[in-house]
Copies of this chain bind each other. A is one copy, B any other.
């Protein structure tokens, strides 16, 4: 009886009591803590990040060796950098130094030491002429090269006639790809996947916001299960993995778990001030698509839902034709649509605690829908049951309007509970909020007027 399960009922209570600002500030602090770590798709920066996550929730960390074949890909060499800088020979000044900002070094730059004239150095430098005070974020994972990123202003101050000493000291060698997951076992092996890319360095919204919110989502659900001593309906699996290669590695090595995924969300960009945005799964009408659409519509605030396209984050991998896992993307402003995206301006000023908090609240509302949505069967289907003698007729709820709404919700649930329509269908067709329909279903179940399928 999903709607009546202790876990689901406690989730209601948690949602009512959630202090979005307080939990938001905690998440903001967590983002700040992770912000300076030098992350990439492999290496110690990722390990350190996951260690910090592990201080918040129980985490299983997995190490996959370089060279492992995963689907069409091979796990790359591990990348660790000790130091990386460019010295202007004449003045001896370090004109670029990764110690100043992680983004200064192109991700996966191969180790090198050399002396170059400006004309040669220039070809290895990346700037944003249109955003002259921001450092761009650049990587080259699968083609061996090196490079530095800097603000355009910094670039323009460089001595055009000088010689430069370049040092990238570190290893790009056999090692491991590190990913992790937090698992909350459910009544069923059927799984809700929450996937976050954990590879981006010093970028706050993309995707420390996703890491923080996913971590607090797992933490909240864990705590909730412990409180009521009840498992959730579904197994929840929060996966932290580097973009593309991480998701592919997870699918290839964890296919037994992947096959259990019945609903999923990639979460990212959850700390900025934009309205919520959802990108549908490939099919576009799966239960997760319907659940997110209902939660966002019920809130009545501006939001956007757009169809699946085969580019973006790791939903590309989950929705690939061999898998077609129903995984959508839940975010605020999506990737590439805010000017600070993939620059040093995606910093701690861009994200705010209250935004992180509201993001968590919405995700918990989505979880509530998934935990409770079900098809029921009206046990007195030959006409309306007599609600009056069961105390259900204008006898629930507060004021008169509320009573009338509740009564309509009861009638909708009774009429549509023919074993073919779930509560989301009823909410949609009736035009009523999901919570109103849920409340009606619970009352009817208590009155033995509904039975589970």
Contacts and interface: CB of A to CB of B under 8 A. Distances in A.
B310 A411 contact: yes
Contacts of A384: 72, 244, 248, 316-317, 320
Given A142-B388, A143-B388, A388-B143, A382 B414 contact: no
A411 B322 contact: no
A317 B383 contact: yes
A319 interface: yes
Contact of A71 (B142, B143, B251, B383): B383
Interface stretch (A123-131, A191-199, A415-423): A415-423
Interface string A355-386: 00000000000000000000000101111111
A104 B319 CA distance: 67
A247 interface: yes
Size band of the interface chain A makes with B = 35 or more
Interface in A289-321: 309-311, 316-317, 319-321
Nearest to A388: B142
Contacts of A408: 311
Number of copies: 3
Contact of A383 (B322, B378, B415): B322
A415 B383 CA distance: 43
A338 interface: no
B321 A417 contact: yes
Contacts of A380: 71-72
A437 to B, nearest CB: 13
Nearest to A411: B310
A382 B73 contact: no
B142 A386 contact: yes
Nearest to A318: B383
A414 B282 CA distance: 13
A412 interface: yes
A336 to B, nearest CB: 12
Interface in A62-86: 71-73
Contacts of A324: 418
Interface of A: 71-73, 142-143, 244, 247-248, 251-252, 282, 309-311, 316-317, 319-324, 378, 380-386, 388-389, 408, 411-412, 414-418, 430
Given A71-B382, A311-B408, 11 more contacts: A143-B388, A248-B382, A251-B383, A309-B412, A310-B414, A310-B416, A311-B411, A320-B382, A320-B383, A323-B383, A324-B418
